[in-house]
Amino acid sequence: MTKRWDYLHEKISHHLQFIYADVVTNTPIGVLATELMNTIGLNQEDDIVIPEPHQNYWDEQDIVMITYGDSVINEHESPLFTLFRFLHTYCKNTVNKVHILPFFPFSSDDGFSVINYSSVNESLGTWSDVHRIAAEYGLMFDLVINHCSSRSMWFDNFIKGEGPGSDFFLTADPTADLTDVTRPRTSPLLRETETANGTQHVWCTFSHDQVDFDFKNPKVLITFIQIIKHYIDNGAKLFRLDAVAFLWKIIGTKCINLPQTHEVIRLMRTLIEHVDPSIIIITETNIPNRENLTYFGNANEAHAIYNFSLPPLLVNTMVTGDCTYLKSWMMSMPPAQNGTTYFNFIASHDGIGLRPAEGLLSDEEIGTLVQSMQNFGGRISWRSSEHGQQKPYEINITLFDAMQGTVKGPDKFQVDRFLCAHAMMLGMEGIPGLYIHSLLGTSNDYDKVANTGQNRSINRKRWDYSELESQLDSPYSQHHKVLTRLSQLIRIRKAQEAFHPNATQFTLQLGPSLFGYWRQSLNRRQSIFCISNVTDEEQSILLSDLNLIGTDNWIDLITRDQIEDVLGFVQLKPYQTVWLSNMDYEEYRKSQ
């Protein structure tokens, strides 16, 4: 073999030696490395692309929309075709990447209990529908890597004791001490299952319909590399590694964030980037902030990590009118080195996770936040703490309804508060992700909660396309107002080089009522001061506190107002955001 092939083979072998150091396997490491390379399509020298380190395969143009395949439906056409039509009609100039949540056959958890990884759920459409979207948008696929459905062929074979998958699943002795295991749910960890080989106790991190894989078996790893190859061939440009923090388990540990888990991600990164360096890996690790940051590795693991601490901190800021906690967190966040970035979001198909706020918000603050969200119609999902106490794990509410008011109760500023929250997120270091129901200003869906019995259904409305069209065409509807104004913000953002995901960011000290940060483009030509009034009262900024360069021309990119006096004051209405940029008016007008 050639030098390039040998180098890559040696690198993959190094990953495998670490992963399986304490595991007895029947396959030699070198043989396994060759099989993994062949599985992903790296069979010879010409197949191997050498990635440049620390490359940013993203810029200020990148906006991701998060959606289910059937968030918008229309009679007599597949939901994935309807989604394409919605994107083409309403998101053409704003969104360029789409995360379609698991669109495979499933048995529960709205797609995250996968029955078959290689086919499209017939109720959503076909691979042709997926390809149609992939031809115009960068597609993010979910790699549901920790578990699959108990109704999968693999688990059927596990029960039979023969066939593919019969040895894919993790079991444990029910008498073992499992008290240290981190649990995101309150269901029993082990599922008693009768099999051809006797009674087995299968590990189920999330639910008894979601049975955990045993990655100590190299066949599981090989199978997932096959799945990755299949997804790349069908248009995947981004991979979201679902619940990946739980991948490797060792009894006697917390069974989360183990070194082997990190090494598996590094191995996947190595394989994928030698096929196509522009494919992005994003880890979905809903865990405390300090632990989440470790998934960057040294720019050799995840390209991007979900900024899970942002949603609870930002919502807390908006309902209390005090940005102290958000500001402290932002100051503590290390700049992402080139080749890595944050994935920013403030709403998703899940609720507002509270574990990422641990150590950032006090128990009292979390209690107040939970109570406020319940007052706005939200539901709470619970988990058991290490001491068996019930603690809030997640707030289930649409972001639009979360912005109904403050700790004082509902008020008239819902739309303004909602847009302010997005303006704050859109300007931050990182790639923005917007949930479809945030773009549409969707309210809590209590009927779906009643029908499913699941709290998370509150934020998973299925829109009828004709009804949605009618709402979006009505200038007085909340949906029209939200989509129109959010789209305007996004278009402004995409035109600013200072909003590159890796552009410099510096947190401003403007007191608890004004949340501000400074962004500077990578070439240092453009500066933007992003300042938001997070209260329900007018606030003023003394511009001399910002140290605007007097020889530059300054303009608010949002209102188009020119700054005449860099030593004067700017008045901010309740929940108003300004993006002050050193760009003269004519230059700004040409950019629009």
pTM of the model: 0.95
Compute the distance between CA of residue 245 and CA of residue 238 in angstroms, rounded to an integer: 18
Contact 303, 341 (CB under 8 A): yes
Contacts of 332 (CB under 8 A, 6+ apart): none
Tell whether the model's pLDDT for residue 585 goes beyond 50: no
Compute the distance between CA of residue 292 and CA of residue 290 in angstroms, rounded to an integer: 5
**How many C-beta atoms lie closer than 10 Å to residue 279's C-beta?**
19
Compute the average pLDDT of residues 216-225. 98
Tell whether the model's pLDDT for residue 527 goes beyond 60: yes
Tell whether the model's pLDDT for residue 167 goes beyond 50: yes
pLDDT for the residue numbered 5: 92
DSSP, res 570: E
Pick the more confident residue, 1 or 208.
208
Contacts of 544 (CB under 8 A, 6+ apart): 566, 567
pLDDT for the residue numbered 589: 59
CA nearest neighbour of 166 among 122, 235, 220, 209: 220
By CB neighbour count within 10 A (0-12 exposed, 13-18 middle, 19+ buried), where does 35 fall?
Answer: middle
Structure tokens at 339: 């080749």
pLDDT in tens, 20-75: 999 988 899 999 999 999 999 999 999 999 999 999 999 999 999 999 999 999 99
What 3-state DSSP class applies to 249? Answer: coil
Which uninterrupted H or E stretch holds 153? Answer: helix 153-160
| Region 147-212: CATH code | 3.90.400.10
Tell whether the model's pLDDT for residue 88 goes beyond 80: yes
Contact 580, 541 (CB under 8 A): no
- Would you list the domain boundaries of the chain? 147-212
Can you spell out the DSSP letters for 179-230? TT---SSSS-SEEEEEETTEEEEEE-SSBTTEEEB-TTSHHHHHHHHHHHHH
pLDDT for the residue numbered 588: 55
Q: Which residues are catalytic?
A: 242
How do beta strands 280-283 and 405-406 pair?
A: unpaired
Contact 341, 304 (CB under 8 A): yes
What 3-state DSSP class applies to 365? Answer: helix
pLDDT for the residue numbered 319: 98
Compute the distance between CA of residue 323 and CA of residue 345 in angstroms, rounded to an integer: 17
Compute the average pLDDT of residues 574-581. 98
Structure tokens at 236: 């995947």
Contact 284, 243 (CB under 8 A): yes
Q: Which of 91-105, 383-397, 401-415, 538-552 has the lowest mean pLDDT?
A: 383-397
Tell whether the model's pLDDT for residue 8 goes beyond 80: yes
pLDDT for the residue numbered 63: 98
Length of the chain: 592
pLDDT for the residue numbered 550: 81
pLDDT for the residue numbered 592: 55
Q: Mean pLDDT in the chain?
A: 95
Binding residues: 109, 147, 240-242, 349-350, 456
pLDDT in tens, 286-339: 888 889 999 999 999 999 999 999 999 999 999 999 999 999 999 999 999 999
pLDDT in tens, 325-340: 999 999 999 999 999 9
Contact 400, 313 (CB under 8 A): no
pLDDT in tens, 368-398: 999 999 999 999 988 776 666 778 889 999 9
Contact 310, 346 (CB under 8 A): yes
Tell whether the model's pLDDT for residue 230 goes beyond 90: yes
Long-range contacts of 470-474 (CB under 8 A, 24+ apart): 472/90, 472/440
pLDDT in tens, 389-430: 778 889 999 999 999 999 999 999 999 999 999 999 999 999
pLDDT in tens, 122-158: 999 999 999 999 999 999 999 999 999 999 999 999 9
pLDDT for the residue numbered 386: 66
Compute the distance between CA of residue 62 and CA of residue 426 in angstroms, rounded to an integer: 11
Confidence bin at 2 (pLDDT 50/70/90) = confident
How much of the chain is in helix, strand and coil states, percent to nearest 5? Answer: 35, 20, 45
Structure tokens at 197: 């080989």
Which uninterrupted H or E stretch holds 237? Answer: strand 236-242
pLDDT for the residue numbered 587: 61
Contact 216, 86 (CB under 8 A): no
pLDDT for the residue numbered 391: 84
How do beta strands 527-533 and 539-542 pair?
A: unpaired
Binding residues for substrate: 109, 147, 240-242, 349-350, 456
